[in-house]
Structure 1
Amino acid sequence: MNSNTMSETRNVTPGSSNHSEEHMTDPMTTPTTAGVAHATTANASATHPHPLHKVLSFVRRSGRLDDRLQRAWDNYADTYLLDITTGNLLDVREGVTLNRNFVAQHWGNDNPLIVEIGTGQGENVVAAAAAHPETNFLALEVYDPGVAHTLLLAGKQGLPNIRVAQVNAPELFKVTEPGTVAEVWTFFPDPWPKKKHHKRRIVQVGMSDDIHRALVENGLWRIATDIEDYALHVHEVMDHLDGWTNLGGVTVSLPVEHVGKGNADMAADMPHADFKESERFEGRVLTNFEKKGLAAGRVIHDFTYQAVPVSR
C-alpha cells in the first residue's frame, strides 16, 4: 500500500451507512472519490462491463473524518482494507475476481466466507467475526466513516478473519465466481422511500441473480429491514424467483400496494395479504441503529432465502 495515500483525509460526510445516513443524501449529488488500501489482485483476464446509465444504491457527499477515525484508517487500513476499486463510483478494478483463490490469498485459509453488504459502523460484522473465528468475513461499505469505524473495531481486537472493501456491492458480485460465498447479509439497507427512487434499492432481480451465482449450493441471503414498504419490495422481488426458497416460518401481514415518502400514512388502510418471514436472526447483534428503530415503534422484518438449483 502507498501509506501516503492512506494518510490523506477522507472526503465523505461522517455518519452510518445504514439508511439513517442515506436519508440525508441528495440522489442527484455527484459522488466523490475515496482512497483504498493496497492488496494484490487475481485473474487479470476478467472483464467488467459498466453500463452507461448504471443505477446506484448509494450517494456520497463531501466531508471529513474526525481525528479518531482518521487515526483508525491510518493504523489499520494496511491490515484490513482491500484495494479492489477504481473511479469515483467505486467500481471493481479490472483484473479483480472474488473467488476461492482470492479468499486464500487475503485471508490465508479456505474457511467459509460471509459477505455483509452495507456494514454501517461495522458493529454487526465485527461482532460476528469475533464470535466465529472459523469463518471469514468481508465487510462491504461505501461511506468513509463507516469503513473507518469498522477498521477501528476490528483493529482494536486484532481480528484476523475480517477484511473490508470500499466498493459498489453489485459490481463486486458481478465478478464473483460460483460457489465462493457461504452467506450474504443485507441488514437495514437504504429504503429509498420516494417511489421514483425504488429502483435504487439494493434488492433487485439482477442482484439476486448475481448473489445466487456467488453462493454455495444451499447458501443463504439474509435480509432485514425496519421499513414496511421495503419488506413488501423484498417479497415481490424474491418470493417467486426460480432458484430461491423462502425459509421463513412467521406469518406477517403487509399492505399489497406500495407507498412513497409522501403517502406512507395511507398503508394501514390499504388491502393486506399474508407473507412468510423469519424469526430475528440470532447472529445479528442488536446495534444502536436497530434499537432506535424499535424505540420508534418500527417492526423489524427478517428474511432468509436459500439458494437452490434453478429448475430450468
Structure 2
Amino acid sequence: MTERATGSPETNENDILAAGGTPSGHPLHKVLSFVRRSGRLDTRLQRAWDAFAERYLLDVNAGEGSLDVRSGFVFDQAYVREVWGNDNPLVVEIGSGQGENVVAAAAAHPEVNFLALEVYDPGVAHTLLLAGKQELPNIRVAQVNAPELFKVMADGVAAEVWTFFPDPWPKKKHHKRRIVQEELAGEIRRVLADRGAWRIATDIEDYALHVHEVMDGLEGWRNEGGLTVSLPTGHVGKGNAELAAEMPHADFEESARFDGRVLTNFEKKGLAAGRIIHDFTYRKV
C-alpha cells in the first residue's frame, strides 16, 4: 500500500510466513515489499466490503487469503473490455492505501479506467467504500501482490502506473524489499503502452536516491524531470539518517508535483513535519 502501508520495517521470518512467503533460507523464498498482518474490519468497513466487493473487487486470487494470482489468469485488453466495458486508457495504482487518491482520480476522469492494487483488508474496504458511495463505474480493486499481477498482464495494456509514498523500509538491511526494483521496472515497462509513464512519489530522501539508482540508467526509460534537486550520494538507514547531511551530495532531475495526485492527509502530515516531496516521471521509450 502506498502511504507507508506497503510494508512494515519490523519484519521477521514469522511475518514472511504469515504473508504467504517463505523464510530467507528456503529455496522458494520470495522477497515481499509488505508484511501482511491481520487487519480486522470495524463494523463500518465490513458493511462496505459486504455492499461493494461484488461490484468492485476483482476475482483474480489463487484462493481465499492468498495474495498470489490464480493459475492461468491473464489480464489483457479483452479482460479490461469485459470488466470495465470499454477500451479506455487504464491507470494502475500500486498500493492504493485508503483509496483517497485513486478514487478522486476516478471521479475526476470518467474517461479513464482505474485499478487499485492493495494488500491490506482495511485499505481495500475503505477504497470500496469511497468508490461505492459515489457509484463510480470506472474503478476496480485487486487485493494481490502487485509484482505477481504485473507478470500476467499483457504487453501495452496500461497507460500509466502510479506508486505514491511506498513503504520506505528504512533499515538498510531491508532496502531490498522496496517496491521500486529493476525487475518490477522491467515488467511495468512491458505492460505500459508506448510512451506510457510510471509516476512515483516519496517524502523520504533516501528512498528518492534509491529510485534514481534503480531507474535513471535503466534502458528503455527516460527521466522526464525538469527540476534539479540535491541528494546525498550515500545511503543511510533507520537510526543514522542524520548522517546524510554530512555526506557528499549530487544533483538529480526530478519532476514537479503531479497534478493528478490529491493532497491526502498523509502527505499533509509529511509537509507539516518539514519533509520534502520527491516526484518522478519515468517515460517508456
1:27 Cα deviation after fit: 4.1
Decide whether aligned partners of structure 1 residues 285 and 225 sit closer, same or farther in structure 2, where only a CA change above 3 A counts. same
Q: Which residue of 1 aligns with 2:179?
A: 202
Decide whether aligned partners of structure 1 residues 68 and 32 sit closer, same or farther in structure 2, where only a CA change above 3 A counts. farther
Identity of aligned residues (%): 72
For residues 231-274 of structure 1, give each alpha carbon's deviation from its aligned partner in whole angstroms, at most 9, with x where no partner exists: 00000000001100000000000000000102111000100000
Decide whether aligned partners of structure 1 residues 151 and 25 sit closer, same or farther in structure 2, where only a CA change above 3 A counts. farther
Unaligned ranges ≥5, structure 1: 1-15, 34-50
Q: Which residue of 2 aligns with 1:77?
A: 53
Structure 1 residues 213-252: aligned runs within 5 Å:
213-252=190-229
1:17 Cα deviation after fit: 5.4
Report the RMSD for the aligned CA atoms in angstroms.
Answer: 1.5
1:95 Cα deviation after fit: 1.6
Contact 1:96 1:175 in 2 (8 A): yes
Q: Which residue of 2 aligns with 1:115?
A: 92
SS at match of 2:28: coil
Q: 2:263 aligns with which of 279, 282, 286?
A: 286
Residue 239 of structure 2 is aligned to residue 262 of structure 1:
yes
| Aligned-partner Cα distance in 2 for 1:303–1:252 | 12
1:226 Cα deviation after fit: 0.4
| Aligned-partner Cα distance in 2 for 1:249–1:198 | 27
For residues 5-42 of structure 1, give each alpha carbon's deviation from its aligned partner in whole angstroms, at most 9, with x where no partner exists: xxxxxxxxxxx752168447534313258xxxxxxxxx
Q: Which residue of 1 aligns with 2:23?
A: none
| Aligned-partner Cα distance in 1 for 2:220–2:239 | 35
Decide whether aligned partners of structure 1 residues 20 and 215 sit closer, same or farther in structure 2, where only a CA change above 3 A counts. closer
Decide whether aligned partners of structure 1 residues 285 and 255 sit closer, same or farther in structure 2, where only a CA change above 3 A counts. same
Contact 1:89 1:168 in 2 (8 A): no
| Aligned-partner Cα distance in 2 for 1:117–1:186 | 5
| Aligned-partner Cα distance in 2 for 1:110–1:168 | 25
| Aligned-partner Cα distance in 1 for 2:69–2:99 | 21
| Aligned-partner Cα distance in 1 for 2:123–2:39 | 13
Q: Which residue of 2 aligns with 1:133?
A: 110
Contact 1:25 1:60 in 2 (8 A): no
Contact 1:31 1:89 in 2 (8 A): no
1:139 Cα deviation after fit: 0.2
1:141 Cα deviation after fit: 0.2
SS at match of 1:62: coil
In the alignment, residue 199 of structure 1 is paired with which amino acid? K
SS at match of 2:18: coil
Q: Which residue of 1 aligns with 2:76?
A: 99
In the alignment, residue 148 of structure 1 is paired with which amino acid? A
Q: What TM-score do you get using the length of structure 1 for normalisation?
A: 0.86
| Aligned-partner Cα distance in 2 for 1:111–1:226 | 31
Unaligned ranges ≥5, structure 2: 21-26
Q: Which residue of 1 aligns with 2:128?
A: 151
Contact 1:114 1:185 in 2 (8 A): yes
Contact 1:239 1:246 in 2 (8 A): yes
Contact 1:17 1:143 in 2 (8 A): no
SS at match of 2:131: helix
Decide whether aligned partners of structure 1 residues 154 and 118 sit closer, same or farther in structure 2, where only a CA change above 3 A counts. same
1:134 Cα deviation after fit: 0.3
Q: Which residue of 1 aligns with 2:43?
A: 67
Residue 18 of structure 2 is aligned to residue 31 of structure 1:
yes
Aligned length: 276
| Aligned-partner Cα distance in 2 for 1:191–1:75 | 33
Contact 1:82 1:164 in 2 (8 A): yes
For residues 187-215 of structure 1, give each alpha carbon's deviation from its aligned partner in whole angstroms, at most 9, with x where no partner exists: 00011001111010000000000000000
Contact 2:227 2:254 in 1 (8 A): yes
In the alignment, residue 107 of structure 1 is paired with which amino acid? W
SS at match of 1:302: strand
1:63 Cα deviation after fit: 3.8
SS at match of 1:86: coil
| Aligned-partner Cα distance in 2 for 1:268–1:97 | 47
SS at match of 1:191: coil
